[in-house]
Amino acid sequence: MNFIETRGNDGQQASEVSFSSAILSPMSSFGGVYVPDSLPDLGITFLQTHLNSSYKTLAKALLNAFEIDIDSAVIDEALNTYDAFDDAKNPVPVVKVDNDTFVSELYHGPTRAFKDMALQPFGVVLSRLAQQRNEHYLIMAATSGDTGPAALETFKNRANVKVACLYPNGGTSDVQRLQMVTEDAPNLKVIGIHGDFDDAQSALKQLLSSEKFAAKLKQKNTRLSAANSVNFGRIIFQIIYHIHSYLELVRQHALKLGDKVYLDVPSGNFGNALGGYYAMKMGLPVEKILIASNSNNVLTEWIQAGRYDLRERAVIGTTSPAMDILKSSNVERILFDLFGAERTKELMLQLDRDNHYQLSPTELEKLQAIFNADFCSDNEGKEVIQSRFKRGYLMDPHTATCFKTQQSYAKKGIKTIIYSTAEWTKFSPTIANALTGEKDTHDLDALKSISHEANTPIPAMISELFDKNIAQESVIDKNNIETEVLAFL
Ligand SMILES: *Cc1c(COP(=O)(O)O)cnc(C)c1O
């Protein structure tokens, strides 16, 4: 299968590329991104065949259906990273929380958030490709908290890849910061920036577009790549768990094969939801994909009114910070799939230029045939955490946003799969506040208090963080990032 560009071709780049080049050099013509030129049609037979397959067997079959140019042995090695999840046999448990509602837990990997689902196998693929081509890559990332730890964890000690990860000093939780600054490997550099996430991100963007920086990297025989959520190498691993979750419901006798479900996704950059969309297009029986947001409800407005409007908006800090996003990067792939390259280019350029665009009524109708959306305030989310905890289920604030969307749009009788994107350990002060009323608790105290309330242990990889050595001490001004990164290389 080949990959094509969401904004069409500029006549300078190749108009079709292989999977491996799409993931090593993810930027395409006119600032677009790569998408598969077609999707395999799996049909109900694929589901039937894999009803009792293990997660890895299902994953291998799905990747094979994409016919990507990655050696079978590398795919196997990549999928073996799921063996390090809590339960190697079932890396994604699906838990029934009431008659109509099932939670697919995507956070049982090493960094306790769903970024591991894609970044764990992606790290293997990227490093192996770099080795095969005898190339060296620098991956630069700016993180507000979950991507950084997951990227560092997956590339740690892998050959031909180095990672420089920027985070806003003081802008992440204790656990998230410790997950990064305790990572000790010669190919990893973690840099705290004086400023907030936007400062870190814009400093990164500036650096990535600097010709001077590119020339210096070239001198060091190093290429730049990106592990951000528009990289199709991540998306492909995010299709698998949607199919797995559906099959789990069939195995649990909650569904008959062929019955439709709602996929209910807490969304930021729309990678998780895009994986569900592709699964649906490949034949998964989905009634609607429900998009849950927090108060940064730009996706809600997009799906409810066809208007993507950033003009009156600034990012609002919420208790679900991984969804504090206004420019949701994978929306572009939906635009392309529904409306084609020409229209996608037009809409995306309009967004860049005017900070807004409006879909036509027919376009909106097409969008709403697939998606519904709603948003959830911090207070509503807190009530969900409280009330569901009383009924026996402990969840994080991102997962909590999904229940409002379900209430707004799910019809009785059709089951909903809610995607849980983080373990309680990653956002413990918010959860402790919901459960006990305690305020402004530090992570360690909050973890202990939730562990006590819920009678559940703190996982070792989290509790151990507080005793580890700090290996990454850099906290610098954003103007010094380039010097710091070049010194690291
Ligand atoms: C990244 C993240 C999200 C958002 O996922 P997208 O694929 O960017 O929509 C939601 N919740 C958590 C905890 C995350 O880390």
- Determine if ligand 1 sits within 6 Å of the CB of residue 322: yes
Q: Which of 146, 371, 428 to mutate to test the pocket of ligand 1 (most atoms within 8 A of CB)?
A: 146
Residues 6+ apart with CB under 8 A from 164: 138, 139, 140, 141, 189, 191, 485, 488
Spatial separation of the C-alpha atoms in residues 262 and 368, rounded to whole Å = 14
pLDDT digits (tens, 9 = 90+) for 433-482: 999 999 988 999 999 999 999 999 999 999 999 999 999 999 999 889 99
pLDDT of residue 110: 96
Amino acid of residue 285: P
- Angle among Cα 190, 179, 87 to the nearest 5 degrees reads 135
**pTM (2 d.p.):** 0.96
Cα of 421 to ligand 1 centre, how many Å? Answer: 6
* The ligand 1 atom nearest the CA atom of 398: 11
Hey, which CATH number is domain 78-113+233-467, 3.40.640.10, 1.10.3660.10, 3.40.309.10, 3.40.50.1100?
3.40.50.1100
pLDDT at 285: 98
Q: Chain centroid to CA 438: how far?
A: 30
Q: Residue 229: CB within 6 Å of ligand 1?
A: yes
Choose one of 272, 299, 425 to mutate for the ligand 1 pocket test, by most ligand atoms within 8 angstroms of C-beta: 272
In the reported structure, the alpha carbon of residue 225 is separated from the centroid of ligand 1 by a whole-number distance in angstroms of 21
Query: Is the shortest distance between the CB of 269 and ligand 1 below 6 Å?
Result: yes
User: Which residues are 3's β-sheet partners?
Assistant: 17, 36
Q: Which atom of ligand 1 is nearest to the CA of 396?
A: 13
Distance from C-alpha of 381 to C-alpha of 332, rounded to nearest angstrom: 28
Q: Whose CA is nearest to atom 4 of ligand 1?
A: 268
pLDDT digits (tens, 9 = 90+) for 14-46: 999 999 999 998 888 998 999 999 999 998 999
For residue 200, what pLDDT is reported?
Answer: 83
Residue of 143, 269, 270 best suited for mutating to test ligand 1, as the one with most atoms within 8 Å of CB? 269
- Please give the distance, rounded to the nearest whole angstrom, from the Cα atom of residue 299 to the centre of ligand 1: 13
What b/e readout covers 37-63, taking b as 16+ CB neighbours within 10 angstroms?
eebbebeeebbeebeeebbbebbbbbb
| Residue of the CA atom closest to atom 1 of ligand 1 | 322
End-to-end CA distance of the chain: 35
pLDDT for residue 145 is more than 90: no
> What is the rounded average pLDDT of the residues 280-304?
98
DSSP state of 374: E
